[in-house]
């Protein structure tokens, strides 16, 4: 099976940079993804890392180190609208399929 650990809450001020870490355990690894979910809404896909290194998409970047079973999401130039929950997810093997497993989520609170 798969399991993921991420902090339950992170706080930061507007304009700052924040990093949300994710460590995982899986019997097989097929990539680390990140999702954003505003309160009461649907999760939306932010990024995917299949190989080691940094992927950049605008103000958001995501990093993966497969040897350390670790990744992070980096949010720059924080805005109030970035206040949301952020989930990391891995896809791993299960009974011949590749099922996704999500972390418990990190609540990001951005203060003015």
Partner 1 sequence: DGGITQSPKYLFRKEGQNVTLSCEQNLNHDAMYWYRQDPGQGLRLIYYSQIVNDFQKGDIAEGYSVSREKKESFPLTVTSAQKNPTAFYLCASSIGETYNEQFFGPGTRLTVL
CB closer to partner 1 out of 15 and 100? 100
Q: Is 91 in the site for partner 1 (CB under 8 A)?
A: yes
Tell me the window of 15-23, 56-64, 74-82, 84-92 that interacts with partner 1 (CB under 8 A).
Answer: 84-92
Distance CA 54, CA 85 (A): 21
Q: Where do we find the tokens 């998409």?
A: 57
Q: How big is the site for partner 1, counted in residues (CB under 8 A)?
A: 25
Q: Is 3 in the site for partner 1 (CB under 8 A)?
A: no
Q: Is 28 in the site for partner 1 (CB under 8 A)?
A: no
Strands 32-37 and 9-13: unpaired
Task: Return the H-helix or E-strand segment holding 84.
Answer: strand 84-94
With CB under 8 A as the contact rule, the residue among 31, 60, 70, 109 that binds partner 1 is 31
Smallest gap, in angstroms, from Cβ of residue 80 to partner 1? 23
User: Which phi-psi region, left, alpha or beta, contains residue 96 (left: φ > 0; alpha: ψ -120 to 50)?
Assistant: left
């Amino acid at each position: 099976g798969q399991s993921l650990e991420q902090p339950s809450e992170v706080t930061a001020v507007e304009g700052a940079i924040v990093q949300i870490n994710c460590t995982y355990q899986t019997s097989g690894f097929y990539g680390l993804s990140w999702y954003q979910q505003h309160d009461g809404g649907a999760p939306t896909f932010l990024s995917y890392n299949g190989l080691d290194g940094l992927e950049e998409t605008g103000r958001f970047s995501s990093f993966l180190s497969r040897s350390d079973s670790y990744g992070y999401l980096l949010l720059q130039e924080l805005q109030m609208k970035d206040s949301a929950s952020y989930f990391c997810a891995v896809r791993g093997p299960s009974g011949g399929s590749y099922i996704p497993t999500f972390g418990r989520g990190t609540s990001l609170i951005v203060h003015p």
